[in-house]
Chain A
Amino acid sequence: MLARIAHELYWLGRNLARAEFTARAVEAVFQAELQGAADALPGVSFGSGGLLAMLDSVTKHVPAGAETLGRLTADAELPGSMLASVERARAGARTVRDVISAEMWEAINTTTLTLRRDGAAGWGAHAQPYVISQYVKQRTALIWGVADRSMLRDEAKCFLDAGGLIEVADMVLRMLRIALPSDEVEQADGSALILLQAVGGFHAYLRAGTAPPNAHPVARFLLFERAYPDSVAACVDSLHEVFSTADAGPRNSKPVLRVSRLAADLDFQRRALPDGAELTGICTSTQHELARIDQDVSERYFAGAVPAGWG
């Protein structure tokens, strides 16, 4: 398939996943901050400030404040808002309309148009973060579902999925790096419910659960639990699967080899690291590795990403 089309699909996946992750995180933070209990307990700190820091590269210079969560829903001017991510997804979907299914295009288009309309009704409104987040969560779930049911399981689907997977892994890592306690207070383990809520993994954790939802076990769960689809390890496993399918020669493909190494690495760390061991380091290195994978993917599949134009 054309490199340009694969590239569009990959970013369509990333933008959809980003909108979805932002929605979950905003909802979780909104709930937590309403109850105002965050500073009372020892444990992870993840509020609107942290969320902004996490989305730092796309939300430069927005002060954390009452309006922050609202703006993260439907402020078209804010590149990190759900609306902005969905708009980018729609622009991408438009150029690959013939590759994705008609239903998928319609689902993305409707989501964007509704969000534009309802979002404009005022992101200052009090319940807005909750209402819009709910909507975006439901719609992105629907879009992924439509993709699964209506797209051929071919290269195109692989690149769409790959974009989504790498984005989720990256977002989880970003969140953990912001939220995990620094070294000094490492001993003071506390509640990390908000992290689970922010990725929508609360019930999964409880069902898998051996440990109380404290910071370290939660972080380990989000990093290493291969049975939980939005964990970093599961995303990396799936990435390996989709690239192996899409690649013509996976045995000597740089991105496939790098993903496979990262998967093995995560598995080793899971077994080697004692409970309570420091995890920030591994988050950082894993995120760097994902960035390198992104680079390799560009070079191998997207003809060195989109050319900069003729000089």
Chain B
Amino acid sequence: MHLAIRYLTEYSYDAPVCDNLNALRVRPATTSSQRCDEFHARIDPEARVSRHLDYFGTEVLEFGIPTGHEQLTIDMRARVVTSDPPPPSEGDWESLRSGAYLDAAGEFALPWEDQPLTPGLQELEAELASATGPLQALLELCALVPTRFEYRSGATYVGSTVTDLLNAGAGVCQDFVHLSLILLRRRGIAARYVSGYLWAAPEDGGADSLEVDTHAWLEALLPGSDGRGEPVWIGADPTNRRLADETHVKIGHGRFYADVPPVKGVYMGAAASELQANVTISRLDPQTGARA
């Protein structure tokens, strides 16, 4: 798919603020199934933007506005070409203990220490116990999480923990992913958090342009079939009950949300801020199912 993405963020402050420093992780990545052709970010008030790749390989844009201002606009535009990833391989549980797998998994297989083991979590774990292989477990997880939990924005906030999700019985994609990551890692499957954009058009197509939000899904490391071949990271979207495909535009990944927040900033001043954020995705190629 050919997609044009516009991510517009506007902060307004009720009194002038200064030394407003921000780090953006918004640029679509270039991977084996996705290419970012154009990328442009405009900041108002104008600011010099510096870029670097972070530890996880995500491009970070940083800028600071030293002088007083009451408004901040971050206007990002990108054009991306995506394609469906190849079908996932079917390795067995045994392969998860191989040296090659553990090397590839690295820190994404480590238990997530800050999250306490609550009874609700153990119950969900039991439901996945019968899965015949890692891929099966991943697919069952993608079906289980959205069935058990209601997607409701406002049920949680950016700093919510998995316990909050379990207590509320509802949350947003970020919470669904965090829960899934814990369950996968406890099962020995390396898994990482993915931040990005989603072309969330209805099945029959129809729209050329959509108003969406930034999205989150995950990638799980699945061993090669029959213990052969390299393990491969497979995208899975527990919010939408399916594996990731060409409608998913990846920005970057990390251990959890805090490693890839789209916009993170601090400013000097006691003023309160109000945020308006919009993601608009437009499809540029013909609707008739042409694959990029």
- List B contacts of A307 (CB < 8 A): 268-269
Residue of B nearest to A307 (CB): B268
In A179-234, the 8 Å CB interface with B consists of none
Closest CB-CB distance, A3 to chain B, in whole Å?
A: 14
| A309 to B266 CA separation, bound complex (whole angstroms) | 10
- Residues from chain A with Cβ under 8 Å of B17 in the complex: 311
With a cutoff of 8 Å between Cβ atoms, the chain A residues found around residue B270 in the complex are: 308-309, 311
Say whether B273 faces chain A, with CB atoms less than 8 Å apart: yes
- Does B277 belong to the interface (CB within 8 Å)? no
Q: Give complex CA distance A172, B236 in Å.
A: 75
Report the minimal beta-carbon distance from A308 to chain B, rounded to whole angstroms: 4
B124-144 CB contact bits vs A (8 Å, 1 = yes)? 000000000000000000000
How many Å from the CB of A307 to the closest CB on chain B? 6
Scan B249-285; emit 1 where CB is below 8 A from any A CB, else 0. 0000000000000000011111111000000000000
Minimal beta-carbon separation of B15 from chain A (angstroms): 10
Q: How far is the CB of A176 from chain B (nearest CB, A)?
A: 36
How big is chain A's contact interface, by range?
under 10
For B271, the chain A residues whose CB sits under 8 A away are 311
Q: CA of A227 to CA of B266 in the docked complex: distance in angstroms?
A: 52
Residues on the A chain within 8 Å of B272, using CB: 311
* A residues in contact with B267, CB < 8 Å: 310-311
| Chain B contact patch, size range | under 10
For residue A117, give the distance in angstroms from its CB to the closest CB of chain B. 38
Instruction: Pick the most buried of A307, A309, A310, A311: most chain B CB atoms within 10 A of its CB.
Output: A311
- Within A281-311, the residues touching B (CB, 8 Å) are 307-311
Cα separation A52 to B98 with both chains bound (whole Å):
81
Within the complex, the shortest CB–CB distance from B71 to chain A, in Å, comes to 15
Nearest Cβ on chain A to B83's Cβ, whole angstroms: 42
Q: Give the CA-CA distance A208 to B271 in the complex, in Å.
A: 53
Tell me the bound Cα distance from A308 to B269 in angstroms: 5
A307 to B270, CA, bound (A): 9
A310 to B264, CA, bound (A): 13
**How far in angstroms is the closest Cβ of chain B from A184?**
44
What residues on B are CB-neighbors of A309 within 8 Å? Answer: 268, 270
Q: How far is the CA of A85 from the CA of B70 in the complex (A)?
A: 37
* CA distance in complex: A307, B267 (Å): 11
Whole-angstrom distance between the Cβ of A280 and the nearest chain B Cβ: 35
Cα separation A309 to B268 with both chains bound (whole Å): 6
Q: Please report the C-alpha to C-alpha distance between residue A308 and residue B268 in the assembled complex, in whole angstroms.
A: 7
Nearest CB on A from B193, distance (A): 26
Task: Provide the bound-state CA to CA distance between A311 and B21, in Å.
Answer: 11
- Give the distance in Å from the alpha carbon of A21 to the alpha carbon of B269 in the complex: 35
Residue in chain B with minimal CB distance to A304: B18
Smallest CB-CB separation from A310: which chain B residue?
B266
* Assembled-state Cα–Cα distance A311/B70 (Å): 13
A292 CA to B269 CA in the complex, in Å? 21
Q: How far is the CB of A4 from chain B (nearest CB, A)?
A: 14
* Residues on B with beta carbons closer than 8 Å to the beta carbon of A310: 266-268
A-B contact pairs, 19 of them (CB 8 A): A307-B268, A307-B269, A308-B268, A308-B269, A308-B270, A309-B268, A309-B270, A310-B266, A310-B267, A310-B268, A311-B17, A311-B266, A311-B267, A311-B268, A311-B269, A311-B270, A311-B271, A311-B272, A311-B273
Known interface pairs A308-B269, A311-B267, A311-B272; 16 further A-B residue pairs with C-beta atoms within 8 A, sorted by A's residue number: A307-B268, A307-B269, A308-B268, A308-B270, A309-B268, A309-B270, A310-B266, A310-B267, A310-B268, A311-B17, A311-B266, A311-B268, A311-B269, A311-B270, A311-B271, A311-B273
Q: Which 4 A-B residue pairs are closest in the complex by CB-CB distance?
A: A308-B270, A310-B266, A311-B267, A307-B268
